[in-house]
Amino acid sequence: MITFGEWLPDQPDMNNAIVTANNVIPAANGYRSLPSFTQLSTSASNTLLGIYSAKADDATITLFAGDANRLYEFNTGTSGLDDVSSGTYSLEGKERWKFVQYGNDVIVAGGIGEELQYWDLATSTQFATLSTDAPKADYIAVVRDFIFTGNIDEGSGRKPYRVKWSGFDSATDWTAGTNQSDFQDIPDAGAIQGIVGGEFATIFMEKAIVRATYTGLPLVFQFDKVEPNRGCKIAGSICNIGQLSFYYSDSGFYMWDGQQSRPIGQEKVDDFFNTDCDFSYVNKITSAVDPIRQIAVWSYVSTSNTGLTPDKLLIYNYYLDRWSSADVDSDLIAPFFTASYSLEDLDNVSTNLDTIPASLDSSFWLGGEFYLGGALADQMYVFSGAVLDGTIETGELPLAAGKHNLVTRVYPYYDGGSVTMEVGTRDALSESVTFTSPVSPNTDNYANFRAQGRYHRLRMNITGEWDLAQGIDVEAREIGRR
């Protein structure tokens, strides 16, 4: 069996294991299915610009979302987005809502035009201004016992290179020099593009990566340029699980492990992305990590798109160091935990079992289950629907070097769903590939062909509720001998 190998679109088709791996997720032996992006909520007022799930001390899950003018709480009883704003907001340009949880509070940054907002998971019924002393900020993170903000405005103008943190164990104390609250300007590295919190802060800037480590008084935090010559080019490309972060730099995709960066797209997908991504809409790029499937996912507008909605996903399995792609329309990719549903709630979700976001026996309805989701336009979506139709195509197979061959049988190996096979042929590498019509396997599990050429490739189209596409076997014979 020829096991489906690594998708390497940056490499030539000849002797390339896989040239297409679409609507699939990389697996150790082949590719697994990707659930479809399915509607979860009714509509907000505008396109959603942020989604977050928070778990209270009593383990209750609450889903929040925000658009340019409103913040919302997801209502499991109606599937609606209830307006819980403290007023009318006005996010502009590339600004998006950034949420963090600090104890039993959810704190939200909406860009330099908005005051930091907070929600007490035990008592709140609407968001409120956190503190009039707090900066307005594009980015926010929790670092040890502090709230960190970056790319800020404190009334004296925008400071894209400044971080400011709250007082020790106090989300409302922002007076510099009091209770260890302070700020730091980071010169010669461009604007801050994002902050990843935890035991220390990783500050992604345009031209460098800076680590802020807690030292206590008098410095409070020590700032070190741990990547002085490489930064993040696209703010929306930053996603993380713990201190493991992924980002896109001037030289491609990288993974940061808390100590150093290593390239993950070089000679694999960097050239593909540079060609396929429409960089006119770079501010529409969003990303998230799915720790269950161990994948990082980027959503972007492709150059073949006739609209403005991001229509393509780039998927990276960070455990296997392998990539795939998908055709999915999504204005936002975000991780969240599902809220719990009662039987009465299910009646409000849908009266049609074919249109609910997940099957009735799914753990989705129990609440507290991690799902990769996001938004399409003004509605929350989740990757929990019917399996997408997958396409996997090999590069040219070395059946008999430089000689004409006739492919007669192809044996597909897969689990679940239905498959058709196509054979692509050409006589010279300068020619376009011509594919046969799709052929379904017979009862003996092989597809019959009479496909002649010097170079051959195979395409598997897999549909239905399939799980794994593993590989193929090929029967061929040399022709034209004298």
Q: What is the mean pLDDT of the segment spanning 279-288?
A: 97
User: What b/e sequence results for 12-46 when a residue is b if at least 16 CB atoms lie within 10 Å of its CB, and e otherwise?
Assistant: ebeebbbbbbbbbbbbeebbbbbbbbbbbbeebee
Q: What is the mean pLDDT of the segment spanning 331-360?
A: 61
DSSP string, 215-231: EETTTEEEEEEEETT--
User: What b/e sequence results for 223-250 when a residue is b if at least 16 CB atoms lie within 10 Å of its CB, and e otherwise?
Assistant: bebbbeebbbbbbbbbbbbeebbbbbbe
Q: How far apart are CA 353 and CA 385, in angstroms?
A: 12
In this predicted structure, the answer to whether residue 353 has a pLDDT above a threshold of 60 is no
Predicted confidence band of residue 59 (pLDDT cuts 50, 70, 90): confident
Query: Tell me, what's the pLDDT at 479?
Result: 83
Q: What is the mean pLDDT of the segment spanning 186-197?
A: 96
Q: Please, are residues 439 and 461 in contact by the beta-carbon 8 Å criterion? A: no
Query: Tell me, what's the pLDDT at 360?
Result: 47
Q: What is the mean pLDDT of the segment spanning 265-284?
A: 97
Predicted confidence band of residue 336 (pLDDT cuts 50, 70, 90): confident
Predicted confidence band of residue 156 (pLDDT cuts 50, 70, 90): confident
In this predicted structure, the answer to whether residue 343 has a pLDDT above a threshold of 50 is no
pLDDT tens digits for range 377-431: 999 999 999 999 999 999 998 777 667 899 999 999 999 999 999 999 999 889 9
Six token digits for residue 48? 């959603």
Mean model confidence pLDDT for the chain: 92
In angstroms and rounded to an integer, the radius of gyration of the C-alpha atoms of the chain is: 25
Q: What is the mean pLDDT of the segment spanning 254-282?
A: 97
Burial group, residue 211, by CB count within 10 angstroms (0-12, 13-18, 19+): middle
Q: What is the mean pLDDT of the segment spanning 231-241?
A: 97
Query: Tell me, what's the pLDDT at 352?
Result: 53
Query: Tell me, what's the pLDDT at 429?
Result: 87
Predicted confidence band of residue 347 (pLDDT cuts 50, 70, 90): low
* 3-state SS class at 364: helix
Which phi and psi (to 5°) does residue 347 adopt?
-60, -30
Reported as type and span, the H/E element at residue 336 is: strand 332-337
Query: Tell me, what's the pLDDT at 478?
Result: 87
In this predicted structure, the answer to whether residue 240 has a pLDDT above a threshold of 60 is yes
Q: In 3D, which of 477, 412, 475 has the Cα closest to residue 442?
A: 412
Query: Tell me, what's the pLDDT at 355?
Result: 52
In this predicted structure, the answer to whether residue 218 has a pLDDT above a threshold of 90 is yes
In this predicted structure, the answer to whether residue 154 has a pLDDT above a threshold of 90 is no
Q: What is the mean pLDDT of the segment spanning 315-327?
A: 98
In this predicted structure, the answer to whether residue 230 has a pLDDT above a threshold of 70 is yes
Query: Tell me, what's the pLDDT at 36?
Result: 97
* 3-state SS class at 273: helix
In this predicted structure, the answer to whether residue 356 has a pLDDT above a threshold of 60 is no
In this predicted structure, the answer to whether residue 274 has a pLDDT above a threshold of 80 is yes
Q: Please, are residues 16 and 395 in contact by the beta-carbon 8 Å criterion? A: yes
Six token digits for residue 379? 């509605």
Predicted confidence band of residue 157 (pLDDT cuts 50, 70, 90): confident
Share of the chain above pLDDT 70, in %: 92
pLDDT tens digits for range 123-143: 999 999 999 999 999 999 999
Q: Give, in degrees to the nearest 5, the angle at Cα 240 between 235 and 244.
A: 120
Q: In 3D, which of 320, 161, 187 has the Cα closest to residue 255?
A: 320
